[in-house]
Chain A
Amino acid sequence: MVKGKVHPYIPNSEEGVKKEMLKELGLKSAEDIFEAIPERLRFRGTMKLPEPILSEARLRRHVEEMLKKNKNCKDNISFLGGGCWQHYVPSVCDTIAARDEFLTAYVGEAYSDHGKFQALFETASMIADLTGFEACNTPTYDWASAAAMAGRMACRTKGRRRILVGEDMSPGRFQVVRNYWKPEIEIARVKYDYEKGCMDLKDLKSKISDETAAVYFENPSYLGFIETGVREIVKIAHEAGAFVIAGVDPISLGVLEGPGNYGADYAVGDYQPLGLHIGFGGNQSGWVATKDEKDMIAEYPSLLYGVTATMKEGEWGFGEVFYERTSYASREKGKDFVGTTTALYGIVAGVYMALMGPQGFKELGEGIMQRAEYAKRKIAGIPKVTIASPGAFTFKELLIGFSATGKTVKEINKALLASKIFGGKDISGEFPVYGQSALYCITEMHAKEDIDKLVTALTDVCAD
């Protein structure tokens, strides 16, 4: 070991113990075992890694100093969203996320990991309640992969190969979906009504056919608008025999209707807003919810945890539902593939949903909409600054136009940094139709004074 030291994580690196074990094996060193690897395949060089920092104290200092080069959304006021949103993370969520039992368990069955099964069953149950469905999978990688998964499920169930996708879809998510749907699924984009902030239903009607497996839209959209034409979209899709997949921000579902309740066939979304820190975009975690119908359940690639009874009267037991579907059971004949995803994040989101309850979701949603509306009105009053589709309904994200200021979003955001403000996501490259525009996210984290500070700073920056 390093300079003759015993590594604290490796008990058998202690020379005496190691020697005793080797002696039992009649070996001199691990090299006697590695002789199973032919010399031509051996790496005889030295991996050029940084010198190790052996003490925990110095290791902590090293990493902390590196991270200090960052500026965070706690010490600054951030208006960034676009799929990763800063909401309040209750202390209980952090407490459960840090439990070594959940943190370090893996693929054990319910007999040793009963709590894991029950926790994920409860998370799925609460997503089902919010979305208006009766089935939900164990977590996916993120919303994007959930959307991709639902699309592939829909195609298999329908025996069709075409999916219509709103052109307002989050560009990041669309890049994921486009790769996942290769090679067999054809994607057609449905026009967005950029004036009104909703799907162009005329274009939807013109593109849908008996080859369409599903129509996918997001609500609220990436651009922040609430899709109010949901029932028309469902009607048009169902008349063509196609499914509807709604991508939703679950934190909006205290005020917005669950997709299952307006006739959608799948809902997909992310757990991140439900009790997970923004963590540089690394804490995303997705889910798919559907009706509990055999032909839909049969197409899930994910593990599904079901509740059942044990031999002990009155005791809840859990197990894997319809396991044969999965690639763990059936390799390439399984449905797509299943693997390690983001289970812990799903568990934490369950804690969040139970803490909030129906009233919490309602109050939170109402409060966010009020703050966003307040911000919208104040920002609209700044000379040369515009609000896109001002008549459209929005939830927590506002699309703000700066073209008339003669400044780019990049310049404006750079200037805002001086006031310790992270301005909205620049979408001028993604949606040039809006000119120099940025997506501003307002949540319950923003107090009135934060919004006022933004308005003051924007007024100054845009007047320069």
Chain B
Amino acid sequence: MSSAPPLSVSGLDIGRGPIAFEVGPGGVLAVLGDNGSGKSLLLAHLSGHLRVPKGSVKVGGRELRAALSDVGVVFQHTGLIRNMTVFENIALPFLVHGLDLDGVVEEKVRLRMRLVGCAHLENEEVHRLSEGDKRCVALARALSGPTRLLIADEPVAALAPAKKALVEELLASLVRTGVLTGIVLATQDLDFARRIATHFLILHPGGHTLISRGDAARNEHYLTFASRAS
């Protein structure tokens, strides 16, 4: 078992000065900030969709480029493949990693659908789904394959309260049990972030601020202010 942190970022510059932080084992980092503050841009760099211009991003001690298969991504616009069903979308990472669609994989896919509460949507084409259901399916797909680190852009946006609670409990249990080594999520939902995150990274025009959960209570005023009005 590697002792390297699940995610280690140093000197990453996305136009707001160099950013450095680590997500330790079982850590959940909530990236907060106003619209257009660069949350999605940061996540695009952390998930390998944009090349890191300066600095380094390491996943489990390896350079991001070499560890992309360990990273599951929930995209801001979900990125579900429109011509495929819910089942096919979630099965895709398994099939890509050399597995045939046999009973074992089918069971894995169905397990993920049950975990995110979309088992009843198995044969639906994704373009027919509501925004909230799309987000759940995108999460299930991100958890397929050999995912160890989850990068999620607004994972609970547009979710009904019951679904939001389900997803929150799922994410918390996945890091608690070690299925995921860490989570980085961008959100506008401060209450959700407070409940799940171990650290907060607040992006604002002047740069960024990193606060741990222990400091959050002390910085409550700042956390609320900075994430909503930055």
On whether the two chains bind one another, the answer is no
